[in-house]
Amino acid sequence: MRVLVIGSGAREHALLLALRRDPSVTSLMCAPGNAGTAEIAEQHDVDAASSDDVVALVRELAPDLVVIGPEVPLVLGVADAVRKIGVPCFGPSAAAAQIEGSKAFAKDVMAAAGVRTAHAEIVDTPANLDAALDRFGPTWVVKDDRLAGGKGVVVSSDRAIARDHAAELLEKGHPVLLESFLDGPEVSLFCLVDGEDVVALLPAQDHKRVGDNDSGPNTGGMGAYTPLPWLPDGMVTQIVDEVVKPVAREMVARGCPFSGLLYAGLAIGANGPAVVEFNCRFGDPETQVVLEMLETPLAGLLYATATGALGDAGPLTWKDGSAVTVVVAAENYPGTPRTGDVITGAEIDGVLHAGTTRRSDGALVSAGGRVLSIIGHGADLASARADAYRKVDQIHLAGSHYRTDIGRAAAEGQISIPS
């Protein structure tokens, strides 16, 4: 099978590495990619958000399967355009991608499907902001109602901080979503979904704040681990039965069946799982650890999802042990990152590239906020952490930073579900 992956992050690098392990894959292509993906796939230029550009590339390369990584092309209908020319594509239609692209749509689907989620209000004018803030708290959750790569969220028990963020978004013309705070540890559960067929992958946990002990602003994700030793047995089945299947059925009933990867972000509270958000694609950095653990050949699974045959997929098989990823970020991330710095020490196994490029002299240089995603694997979470941080120590990038506590609370048994 010849597979073309669209995207340029560590998630796409992880997808390519997993696809390369599938014996049915004969050729791997990536566009636009980064310096890491260029080492394992034929690299092409593309504007991933342009259906015309992607379709032209697909016509030129004639892959058997196109896999679209990021949300922006999916929300803009790039998967529809690829399917329209008869090429199987892993990724939802624009209509189904609204589950991520429009928070109002996602809330409406969840209400109709009877799925527990935070109470939410949209504020679209500064005049309504203070009264709306008064209806929330003592912890305020303020989200950009547009796609913001995870960075549009502020969670704070300081009303002034929440207000400043909301006012800043409104000033930019972005509607603001205020949500009630959901208590409990968070889980990212990725499910392959093809109409009403659902296959859950291993649950993972992201670390969204930039600093240790969940300090500082939100980011696109600073690290992740899987599996979750604190998650009760049966919780994945409960999430699939109470959340993912009802939503998949509701999407079918609305005439916009979901086909691709449905990412449920959940808080596990005293009353069970509640949805924080849905995304319409593999998450980053959780994908890096989930795919590190996957033994079932990935291309077959993605092809089955893309062609309406997921119901025939057997049970998935997984490696033993745990996986951890630590994101190495550029100076000033999640603000405007410093770029163009030389990276050394990255030529080791388990280094996935995100914001990297090759300079004309061949040097590997930073080209984005999240620069590398370093993977560790071990018999348990503590040894996977040790493996990941041993590799992180070998990397040098001036001004870079990373969290030192990825997976630590879970490894030390400090995560519990409120009762």
Least Cβ distance, residue 265 to ligand GLY (angstroms): 7
Measured from the CB atom, the residue of 196 and 214 that comes closer to ligand GLY is 214
Contact range with ligand GLY by CB under 6 A, out of 19-27, 30-38, 254-262, 281-289: 281-289
Measured from the CB atom, the residue of 53 and 277 that comes closer to ligand GLY is 277
Measured from the CB atom, the residue of 221 and 297 that comes closer to ligand GLY is 221
Measured from the CB atom, the residue of 279 and 373 that comes closer to ligand GLY is 279
- The residues, ordered by sequence, that sit 6+ positions from 289 with a Cβ below 8 Å of its Cβ are 204, 224, 225, 226, 323, 324, 325, 375
Least Cβ distance, residue 329 to ligand GLY (angstroms): 14
Q: 240: which DSSP letter?
A: I
Contact between 298 and 22 (Cβ < 8 Å): yes
125 bridge partner residues = none
Distance from C-alpha of 363 to C-alpha of 360, rounded to nearest angstrom: 7
Helix, strand, or coil (residue 82): helix
Distance from C-alpha of 170 to C-alpha of 162, rounded to nearest angstrom: 12
Measured from the CB atom, the residue of 297 and 368 that comes closer to ligand GLY is 368
Contact range with ligand GLY by CB under 6 A, out of 168-176, 283-291, 376-384, 389-397: 283-291
Q: Which helix (H) or strand (E) holds 130?
A: helix 129-134
Structure-token pair, residue 39: 């080492």
Which residue in the shown chain puts its C-beta closest to ligand GLY? 283
Structure-token pair, residue 9: 């992050």
Q: Which of 385, 388, 400, 404 is nearest to 344 (CA)?
A: 400
Measured from the CB atom, the residue of 87 and 275 that comes closer to ligand GLY is 275
Least Cβ distance, residue 284 to ligand GLY (angstroms): 5
Any contact of residue 12 with ligand GLY (CB under 6 A)? no
Any contact of residue 407 with ligand GLY (CB under 6 A)? no
Any contact of residue 279 with ligand GLY (CB under 6 A)? yes
Residues 37-96 that bind ligand GLY (CB under 6 A): none
Distance from C-alpha of 335 to C-alpha of 346, rounded to nearest angstrom: 24
- For residue 335, give the amino acid letter: G
Q: Which helix (H) or strand (E) holds 358?
A: strand 356-358
Measured from the CB atom, the residue of 87 and 244 that comes closer to ligand GLY is 244
User: Alpha helix (H) ranges present in 156-232?
Assistant: 159-171
Residues 187-226 that bind ligand GLY (CB under 6 A): 206, 221
The CA–CA distances, whole Å, from 122 to 49, 104, 175 equal 27, 8, 7
Contact range with ligand GLY by CB under 6 A, out of 25-33, 115-123, 277-285, 311-319: 277-285
Any contact of residue 286 with ligand GLY (CB under 6 A)? yes
User: Pick from 284, 292, 341, 387: which binds ligand GLY (CB under 6 A)?
Assistant: 284
Contact range with ligand GLY by CB under 6 A, out of 45-53, 234-242, 280-288, 408-416: 280-288
Q: Report the 3 state secondary structure along 293-305.
A: HECCCHHHHHHHH
Residues 325-354 that bind ligand GLY (CB under 6 A): none
Binding site for ligand GLY (CB under 6 A): 150, 206, 221, 279, 283-284, 286
